[in-house]
Amino acid sequence: MQISMPVDTRRNKRKLRREFRQKGYRAVYLEVSGYPPGKRELAHEWLREQERASDRRKRWTFALIIVLAMVAAAVAAYLAAVQLKWL
């Protein structure tokens, strides 16, 4: 029998979020169905936040790669032009 923990206080939410962070995404994902109802809802919310953060990181990483590739191409073109004495 699991003891239900009131989740509605800020302090308890902070403690649970810290616990989730320490366990990690995968462990919380696998254990979420066994949590009591209040903790389960907070775990689902935390998992969604982690997924959104992961998506943002992927999007920004992709954009950064594109920008760096464009800068590298511009530098290569400039150096080629200097080498061929076009500039």
Using CA atoms, how far residue 31 sits from 26, 36, 44, 69, 75, in Å, is 9, 11, 11, 41, 50
Supply the pLDDT for residue 87: 80
Per-residue pLDDT of the chain (87 residues; tens, 9 = 90+): 555 666 678 999 999 999 999 999 999 999 999 999 999 999 999 999 999 999 999 999 999 999 999 999 999 999 999 999 988
| pTM exceeds cut of 0.85 | no
Supply the pLDDT for residue 4: 61
Euclidean distance between CA atoms 81 and 85, whole angstroms: 6
Supply the pLDDT for residue 20: 96
Supply the pLDDT for residue 69: 98
Residue with tokens 């989740």, as numbered in its chain = 7
Euclidean distance between CA atoms 14 and 26, whole angstroms: 19
| Domains of the chain by residue range | 10-83
